[in-house]
Chain A
């Protein structure tokens, strides 16, 4: 589905990610783990087109999208749940969803909106509320719902559990498990490693912008010594 080949990117000439080789299989949930500043968010942002590539390629369904503008990437089926939710804070819940489905035809977006409301009934109750005034958990639901509105093939999630109560994390993970049944591919960046290992199929561990280990989550769990050295136990 998504492939990074010898990929480097960074800000203002300084590399945040160097020579990364990753493959994200269709239908799988792949976790990117690693300490702060390892380059996880930069990798996601590069896939969304917001970090300048400095070498290598990004392939999506076999097509080179390394230099495509962000607008195009949403149209080919990539959506993001950004770090810290980043809702359109002045807009209502429903308006956030409408923007999420902006690249779909109107009728399809309407249908998708009902899907999101049935996935998160809480959002349906709050549909006319200004999104900036939602609770943290509701905001994360809305951020996920907004991304799902675009009917993506690939969903990028940056810090699902950050700042959320454990119960809310459960709600979000359960929702993701449900949407995965339709074959959605997910890339998850997460600080909460044990949570991530429990749901991921495959794991890449990043440190200082490089991939230091990868494998199925079972393999990574078995290899605890190396893993702990890089990530630490949470």
Chain B
């Protein structure tokens, strides 16, 4: 493990500072990035640094953050910034951990991101079930405002910014940008047809930048240390560190920070401390409920946000399954999740996830008929190829892998 493997960008002060005290954060060098941004940089220079850093969205899609900023920045007039904290992927709680341990780091990132694209208003779209986290953020926003980091004339400059915390109603699909925007506008939480993209026509019809909370938390470090230095961390295709969320049969479960590009084996062994005593690895799921399943012989795959990568990093969740796990239980929980969370807008997803759940229930109870096998094949195909948004594809991923790699069904 080289020295950069131990580099902590987001988790550095976790557990050492009181998250409810802004003073603690300032004492360890917090809010210095805002100072640097306001006193020494033009917004364009900041965007240049972010582009240089190679930072990509940590929500799962892996789109270049710098390019997204630029796309919004080049528009004139009113703009909005939204921090996506709707984390609802089962088994993923990295954003919650950020708020729990260092909310001011997130706020600092939000403020810089919003100011860099000339937004005067920023939203934090938080998962409706994160009640404690909302309280922490509310307190943090108040403290930051009384320290002049938010409001009119931020640290006596010409910059203004208002931050509003908006609680979602707990729908998975609202983590998708266009659905999230619908939700803030008071509409039904369901994705919109693109184009137009939110970077041109977003919230209230204005250009809008939506960034994941973890992405945003990287911004202060990049502003202080420069984009070049960030780009040298981790894998070249998607540099930086990543919060891995470990769960299942590993010895240490929880949120860990490590460079991108780690192999799956390294994440399990080095961050997770290997498997629990008496447990034997069967497979693991990478990136939450919508993630791929990987077997033991694939542990050498490195985890990046590369579009071509076999095993996408997704939300960063790594869930390890023991040989004795009940695969049908697992599939039923996944099918149930997607059946519940589908927005119901398009036919294949609404009807397909529902039928898939029905069949999985029968599968769990015992044998299924040849007719059901045909049905599973058809449903997975249509989810994969014809749905309105990627949600349908997500619903099929784990199933397809279970069929192909774990050979649970003779299709």
Judge: A and B partners, yes or no: no
